[in-house]
Amino acid sequence: MKVIIDISDNEAAFGMKVLQSLSFVKKAKKISEEKALLMEEIKEAVEELKLIREGKLKGIPSKQLLYEL
């Protein structure tokens, strides 16, 4: 399982030390705000796609999508 934890900058070093000291934590690494936001947006897009495929949410036609770009 992967978990994203938002820690204030002034406590980040301590937080990383704590995480790395836990035996059950395989890897703890720092990522940028932009990368965390991108990951969240991709996750939301995948969830929306699942709902569209299940028929629980209506998608938009590809032509409409192209016009919006």
CB-based contact 50:44 (threshold 8 Å)? no
Sign of CA dihedral 24, 15, 33, 8: positive
* Total domains, the chain: 1
Residues 46 and 26: their CA atoms lie apart, in Å, by 26
Question: What pTM, to 2 d.p., does this model score?
Answer: 0.63
* Helices and strands: H and E segment counts in the chain: 3, 0
Asked if the structure places residue 40 within a domain, the reply is: yes
**pLDDT reported for residue 65:** 81
Residue-number span of the structural domain to which 58 is assigned? 9-68
Residues of the chain with pLDDT under 70: none
In a domain, 3, yes or no: no
